[in-house]
Structure 1
Amino acid sequence: MAAPLDTLVTVFGGSGFVGRHVVRALAKRDYRIRVAVRRPELAGYLQPLGRVGQIHTVQANIRNPASIKAAMRDASIVVNLVGILAEGGKQSFDAVQAEGAGAIAQAAAEIGARLVHVSAIGADANSESAYGRAKAAGEANVLAAVPTASILRPSLVFGPEDSLTNRFASLARMAPVMPVFGAETRMQPVFVGDVAQAVADAAEGKTKPGAVYELGGPEVLTMQEIVEIVLKTIERERMILPVPMGIAKLKSYFLQFAPGDFKLTPDQVAMLKVDNVVSDAAKAAGLTLEGLGIAPDSLETVAPQYLWRFRATGQFAHNGAN
């Protein structure tokens, strides 16, 4: 493969939360980056992440094979980050995470590009969750088209623009009680910067061909413990109310229509029934962040760097909880 300065990487879904960090990581390694998104005019904030002319955006829709192929023209590496947490209109789990992943892989196979596919821990053909089943189908489609593809499965990803810790912190500013769905479910939250480094390593060919890597942080935490860390970080005392899964499922039929931070779908409740942690098999095989030589950062270490804005007194004073 050519030197990075002469190597073009096409990143699908590069304008999202994980995507902007992946674009930054690739830019630091001197790749040329083409970001394929549905609305290029809304992704201008990506260009300052690299040098002048290093990053540019193009229009692409993963439900349109012609646009996929056009976005890959002359690319040596393809990264697929496209994913959704809730369905809406034509954006179904199967269309985006199964069929879309397969279409990207088929196009990558045609041009002989190296493929990095970001999935999720919880991808399982037998999952109760449609999200998990679609993720598993996407992985199968990717490997069928490109057997040497690198598949990365992160646990819950946290960072400055996440919909996890920011959601809890935002709710804590408004509500005296914090209802927690899946309070005892175990997670292994992973810092978005560490995920981005893993993707960049895979783009460089540092991962095992055809292998599935599971990416988790240094700690396994219950959902309630994650909420407790957020509350401690933003210095707010709130009553935590664990919600039984049966009640959570019932509430989700109404909350799926709620706006913003209050939204919760039945499928998300189904996902919360199952632990989301790195498997022992992945650890034994070295298919982890540590196996790539990346020492993951913990939630407690990183969260104060961006959650301070949810404190009653901001980043300057620490006068106790509110």
Structure 2
Amino acid sequence: MSLRLVTVFGGSGFLGRQIVQDLATRGVRVRVAVRDPHKAAFLKPLGDLGQIAPLKVHVGDDASVARAVEGADAVINLIGILYETPRRTFQAMHVDAPDRIARLSKAAGARRFVHVSALGADESSKAVYAQTKAKGEAAVRAHFPEASILRPSVVFGPHDNFFNMFGSMTRLLPALPYYVNDAFRTVRNDQGRKGVDLKGSGGPRFQPVYVGDVSEAVMRCLTEDAHQGKTFDLGGPRAYSMREIMDLVVEQCERHTKVVPVPFWVARIQAKVLQFMPKPLITPDQVRLLETDNVVTGERPGLEALGIEPTAAEAILPTYMHRFRPHHRNVVMRPS
């Protein structure tokens, strides 16, 4: 399918930036539906003059959303939040917004709809984040049955808020935590002697997926008929425990930061306090989310079904994590 105009909701975010650039590279005109077009102006140089147009849109208003999708061949919804504020709740952003966008996109005659949800979306989850992500998927399906739904694990890349956040923490903290339920317990070794397991199993597991792979998945769902009406679980080639993620960060940053276990009950206490920060490091709902592994189960098709070979984190992290290394590690000595 050829595309002339695509509307991208949430296109100024980390994943959105990559998708907008990839669409522009393919010669598509891109309408970027955002809250503040001025803050999204950095997207314009990613395409030719006039090819990328940020548009102020209020996703809670039918008329505003209808203007954004008018004349679009395809619509992509990337809207998502990790924590709630009084004006931006999980219900509003993860359920009501995709419901409205899908309904009005179908009414406007869009031929393709791609909705980016999250791996682990489940209405029976203890975390409201995962519950509302699942409800948002159902709302999209109700209005746009042939929509493609992508459920990525943690997305990483040069502008991510995952590895970069932990990398910045290595500059400030002597240790990086990983949350566990099974550390600090009495165990017996092969000889039957008692000891204390200080590390546990390593905490929750993640399967980080490269931002370029997720964007390519979106492109293929937009252009290939075979992927319509399907839901895809997107993960990288390897699953890591939280401890392994922290070890990888320390290795890439070339620092002597310790990686230490923290019981989940401590995380819950921390979250009750930190949730009141302007940009919370962790919230009670995120702690509940962390108690479940975020990995591909194989129950749904993944990147391979889209013809995409997953990119390993180890191949990409050195291209941007070097910024967190001690300054002397980046100095190149030249002979006089």
Q: Same fold judged by TM-score > 0.5?
A: yes
Alignment check: 8 A CA contact 1:309 1:315 kept? no
- Give the whole-Å Cα distance in 2 for the aligned partners of 1:174 and 1:250: 21
Correspondence for 1:163: 161
SS at 2:256 equivalent: coil
Aligned-partner residue type, residue 290 of structure 1: E
**Aligned partner (choices 222, 226, 238) of residue 219 of structure 1:** 238
Choose from 290, 293, 296 the match for 1:272.
290
* Aligned twin of 1:312: 326
Segment drifting more, 244-253 vs 135-144: 244-253
In structure 2, the CA distance between the partners of 1:58 and 1:199, relative to structure 1 (3 Å rule), is same
Shift of 1:51: 1.4
1:237 aligns to what SS in structure 2?
coil
Which SS does the other structure have where 2:227 is aligned?
A: coil
Unaligned runs of 5+ in 1: none
State the partner residue of 1:141: 139
- Counterpart residue number, 2:12: 15
Change in Cα spacing, 1:130 to 1:71, as seen in structure 2 (3 Å) is same
* Number of equivalences: 311
Amino acid at match of 2:88: Q
**Distance in 1 between residues matched to 2:263 and 2:226, nearest whole Å:** 40
Aligned residue runs from structure 1 range 54-203, under 5 A: 54-113=51-110, 114-181=112-179, 183-203=202-222
d(CA) in 2 for partners of 1:8, 1:314:
48
Counterparts of 1:224 and 1:204, CA distance in 2: 39
**What are the Cα deviations for residues 23-77 of structure 1, in whole angstroms up to 9, with x where unaligned?**
0111112111000000001111101111111111101121111110001111010
Given that 1:125 and 1:132 are in contact with CA atoms closer than 8 Å, whether structure 2 keeps it comes out as yes
Are the aligned partners of 1:177 and 1:238 in contact in 2 as well (CA < 8 Å)? yes
Does the Cα contact within 8 Å between 1:181 and 1:269 map onto a contact in 2? no
Q: 1:316 deviation in Å?
A: 3.4
Q: Which has the larger radius of gyration?
A: 2
Distance 1:289 1:314 in 2: 39
- Measured in 2, the distance between the counterparts of 1:258 and 1:155 equals 25
- The separation in 2 between residues aligned to 1:256 and 1:299, in whole angstroms, is 29
Matched residue, 1:297: 311
**What is the match of residue 258 of structure 1?**
277
CA deviation digits over 1:197-225, x for unaligned, max 9?
11111111355221110110011101111
**Structure 1 residue identity aligned to 2:249:** V
Distance in 2 separating the partners of 1:91 and 1:107:
21
TM value normalised by structure 2:
0.89
Moved over 4 A (4+): none
Q: CA deviation at 1:259?
A: 5.2
1:137 deviates by 0.4
| Aligned-partner SS, 2:311 | coil
Could you say what the CA RMSD is over the residues aligned between the two structures, in angstroms? 1.6
**TM-score of the pair, normalised by structure 1:** 0.93
Which residue is equivalent to 2:259? 240
| Deviation of 1:317 (Å) | 4.0
Distance 1:314 1:256, change over 3 A: farther
1:119-172: per-residue Cα shift (whole Å, max 9, x none)?
Answer: 000100101000000000000000000000000000001111111101101111
Corresponding position of 2:197: none
**Secondary structure of 1:115's aligned partner:** strand
Corresponding residue for 1:35? 32
1:38 maps to amino acid: R
